Amino acid sequence: MASSFSLAPCLLFLLFFFFIVNGAAQSQSSSLDFVYNGFNRTEKNFTLKGATFIKPSGALKLTNRSRDVIGHAFYPDPINLLKSSNNISSFSTSFVFSIIPSGSDGGGYGLAFLLSPSTDLQGADSGHYLGILNSTNDGDGSNHIFAVEFDTVNGLNEGKSSEGNHVGININSMDSVATEPASYYVNDTDKKEEVNLDSGHIQAWIDYADGVVNVTVAPLFLDKPMRPLMSKKIELSGVVTNSMYVGFSASTGEERSSHYILGWSFCINGTARQLNLSILPVPPIETDSSSLHTGFKVLIAGLAVILLVFGAWLIRLLYRRKMKPEDLEDWELDYPHRFRYKDLYTSTKGFKVSEVIGVGGFATVYKGVLATNGNEVAVKKIVQSLTQGMREFAAEIESLGRLKHKNLVNLQGWCKHKNDLLLVYDYIPNGSLDSLLFHPPDNFVLSWDQRFNILKGIAAGLLYLHEEWEKVVIHRDVKASNVLIDADMNGRLGDFGLARLYDHGKNSHTTSVVGTIGYLAPELTRTGKASTASDVFAYGVLLLEVACGKRPIRPANSQSSDHFILMDWVFECYQAGQILDAVDPRMNSVYVVEEVELVLRLGLFCSHPRPEARPTMRQVTRYLSRDDPLPIVDDWAAPDSSRFSDISPRFLEIVSTDTIRSSCRSSSVGYISSSSIQAGR
């Protein structure tokens, strides 16, 4: 009795002890499942060697673009993948990297995901060896190295199948056991699409289970392709030891690129969690962080100043033609996809005149067909020598890089070549709303349904810019010629060249365009401060323009000595209780009366002279979808509000008729930019 009495607690204690130890061990080993969307807030300090450092933005920079630079970064704790002497735990990882070559001719060498018994790879060589091995120990079974390389230069054994731009699986040697040109399978078919490893942000996945390694790469904007690029049987049991470090290595050689890791997720005995692509680090266009919190007006102003300084800095660099490879890098990293110049050159038949689809202030737009996938694109070639063009470029990319919405003309990528700056957009087949309304193909009239649908689409696009994206983006140049119509007759808002760019106090020769006459809210002309409300104003003008089929302003001409101002006219019709008189006669009265009335009244409401009285884009979309009734606001039409005396006449005073005429050379009669206004002062 006594002996069993003393045995029980003893057993209990042993059991308890066993659970504690076992539990602790289990939780320690099975808890290896981490996700880093950027590396500046990691709870663990990574083991960084060589040139590696973490930028304030959170980007992990492995190498810069100097010769023979090596960088390593490891998760600080060792991992144990051995279950038994011949059985390895499965693991899975996903990461986003960006390789920025030193010139348009390409860079090198590459980066690798690495399992290594040590974080100290002293003596490793740069170049082909990627900072992992050297000529002495290459191929040595005692290295215990497993690596997946993303290499932009020919493999070690030149002439072997490993072309530049390839992915390889390496065991203890830089001579890969398997390599494939970097590409991905489209939708589980046999069709492969090339991935240029140094063309921007690329995501890679490596999954190991049951003796098979799968490697997959894809451009950032794609989900993980269903079929892996490589699926290779690999015996890792002789390779990994019971204490391995997991991380990355990269190096440059004669060819040079900077190598970045932007996010990394890793998991043992499971599938690596998805990275949150929307919060991956973007490069530091260093802003004053305190001003970020004092409201978006300050933000806009701050950004504008920064962009200006930044622009001036770039221009200076370009002028001196002494671009050191490192200099443009920080803003280059921001943008999702970099095209090769030669691809764009061939796609547009060498920027042939016959491929021109538009000419803007500082840019020519070409239609192109990408040889890689046959996709049609619009390539905007910026005339670089103009300082304006440069700033437009920086601003446009800055805002557009990460914006994605079905009612926006999405930026697919960009390219810089000598003095040429190129932006690649979705190609929108049906041209601009302006040309469909005012220069339609023979006998074509936009139906009311199409018009209403386009207007609703643009409202959704603007709502996204104003409220749904991570920052408030003010378009600043909403107008019919910036609305493009896609194959399904949906409206897409384009040309963000002016977004968030405001040029303070520059002399009149270089003032930036701040909008288009006829769409400029009255407060803009007084204060020059663009806001979401001034976008709403321009959207209101667009509503009227589309419903009435008339341009917002028609200058005095031989038939009439007065300027025709659409808003005034619709307002008069409204006051007279005859608002439907304003409707575009070309629709032959085929329309839904309630919808047309809604659009016209909403147009007046949005273009209310007082910015605070205008609806927000969220309210606008609710009115358009009839979720909310359009309120009857007395004063949006109050005759005494001197509704327009403030707007157009003041402009027309400033702008001589000559200026208007001279700007009418292009097809956009009636639109003049405020740069000519200011120059006319």
Ligand X SMILES: *[C@@H]1O[C@H](CO)[C@@H](O)[C@H](O)[C@H]1NC(C)=O
**Smallest separation (angstroms) from ligand X to the CB of 124:** 6
Span from 6-14, 134-142, 554-562, 597-605 in contact with ligand X (CB under 6 A): 134-142
Give whichever of 93 and 674 is closer to ligand X, judged by the CB atom.
Answer: 93
What would you report as the CA-atom Rg of the chain, rounded to the nearest whole angstrom? 30
Query: How far, in Å, CA of 234 to CA of 237, rounded?
Result: 9
Whether residue 627 lies in the annotated active site: no
- Within residues 39-78, the interface with ligand X by CB under 6 A covers 40-41, 44-45, 51, 56-58, 64, 66, 69
Count of residues that bind ligand X according to CB under 6 A:
42
Least Cβ distance, residue 383 to ligand X (angstroms) = 31
> 314: part of which helix (H) or strand (E)?
helix 296-320
Q: Give the residue, chosen from 149, 151, 198, 207, that forms a contact with ligand X under the rule CB under 6 A.
A: 207
**Rule CB under 6 A: which of 86-105 touch ligand X?**
86-87, 89
Q: Is 322 annotated as a binding residue?
A: no
Q: Which is nearer to ligand X, 227 or 471 (CB)?
A: 227
My answer on whether omega of the bond before 184 falls inside 30° of 0, hence cis, is no
Bridge partners of 63? 259
State in angstroms the smallest separation of the CB of 250 from ligand X.
Answer: 12
Sketch the per residue contact string, 177 through 196, with ligand X: x for CB under 6 A, - otherwise: ---------xx---------
Footprint on residues 260-289 left by ligand X (CB under 6 A): 268-269, 276, 278-279, 281-282
Residues 382 and 378: their CA atoms lie apart, in Å, by 13
Identify which of residues 322 and 681 has a Cβ nearer to ligand X in the complex.
322
Structure tokens at 102: 């030193």
328 in contact with ligand X (CB under 6 A): no
How far is residue 518's CA from residue 477's CA, in Å, rounded to a whole number?
11
- Please identify which residue in the block is written with the tokens 């605070």: 612
The least distance separating ligand X from the CB of residue 192, rounded to whole angstroms, comes to 11
Least distance in angstroms from the C-beta of 494 to ligand X = 22
DSSP assigned state of 225: P
Cα–Cα distance list, 664 to 2, 11, 301, 554, 660 (Å)? 109, 96, 32, 11, 6
Q: Does 137 bind ligand X (CB under 6 A)?
A: yes
Give the residue nearest to ligand X (CB): 123
d(CA 468, CA 447): 30
**Among 35, 177, 212, 298, which residue sits at the site for ligand X (rule: CB under 6 A)?**
212
Task: Give the side-chain half-sphere CA count within 13 A for 676.
Answer: 19
Give the total residue count for the chain. Answer: 681
Pick from 311, 71, 343: which is nearest to 199 by CA? 343
Minimal distance in Å, beta carbon 349 to ligand X? 25
CB of 147 to ligand X, least distance (A): 14
Which of the following is catalytic: 477, 486, 535, 584?
A: 477
Q: Helices 593-606 and 448-463 meet at what angle, rounded to 10? A: 40
372 belongs to the binding site for ligand X (CB under 6 A): no
Nearer to ligand X, 73 or 600 (CB): 73
Rounded to whole angstroms, how far apart are CA atoms 556 and 659? 12
Exactly one of 67, 83, 233, 504 binds ligand X (CB under 6 A); which one?
Answer: 83
In the complex with ligand X, the residue whose CB is nearer, 76 or 631, is 76
The strand ranges marked E within 350-447 are: 356-359, 363-369, 376-382, 411-417, 420-426
* Among the residue ranges 122-130, 300-308, 403-411, 416-424, the one whose residues contact ligand X (CB under 6 A): 122-130
- 472, 466 in Cβ contact below 8 A? yes
- Scored b (16 or more CB within 10 A) or e, 603-634 reads bbbbbbbebeebbebebbbbbbeeeeebeeee
CA-angle at 62, arms to 195 and 152, nearest 5°:
30
Tell me the per-residue interface mask from 21 to 40 with ligand X, x by CB under 6 A, - otherwise.
--------xx-x-----x-x
Within 226-265, the residues that bind ligand X by CB under 6 A are 227-228, 231
Q: Which of 3, 27, 122, 507 binds ligand X (CB under 6 A)?
A: 122
Residues 6 or more apart whose CB falls under 8 angstroms from that of 47 comprise 72, 73, 74, 75, 76, 119, 245, 247
Measured from the CB atom, is 89 or 412 closer to ligand X? 89
The token pair at 439 is: 């220069």
Task: CB nearer to ligand X: give 192 or 227.
Answer: 227
Gap between the Cα atoms of 551 and 548, Å rounded: 8
From 85, 136, 507, 588, residue interacting with ligand X (rule: CB under 6 A): 136
Is the CB of 227 or the CB of 610 nearer to ligand X? 227
Q: DSSP for 324-375, please give it.
A: -TTTTHHHHTTSSBB--HHHHHHHTTTT-GGGEEEE-SSEEEEEEE-TTT--
Q: Which of 68, 163, 175, 326 binds ligand X (CB under 6 A)?
A: 326
CA atoms of 411 and 433, how far apart (whole Å): 19
Binding-site string for ligand X from residue 373 to residue 392, where x marks contact by CB under 6 A and - marks none = --------------------
Residue 288 or 449: which CB sits closer to ligand X?
Answer: 288
| CB of 73 vs ligand X, minimal distance in Å | 13
CA–centroid distance for 8 within its chain: 66
Partner residues linked to 54 by β-bridges: 60
- State the nearest-atom distance from the C-beta of 90 to ligand X, in Å: 6
Q: Which two tokens stand for residue 310?
A: 């930044």
Q: Which residues are catalytic?
A: 477
Which residues in this chain contact ligand X in the complex, by CB under 6 A? 29-30, 32, 38, 40-41, 44-45, 51, 56-58, 64, 66, 69, 83, 86-87, 89, 122-124, 134, 136-137, 186-187, 207, 209, 212, 214, 227-228, 231, 268-269, 276, 278-279, 281-282, 326
Cite the annotated binding site by residue number. Answer: 381
Cite the annotated binding site for ATP by residue number. Answer: 381
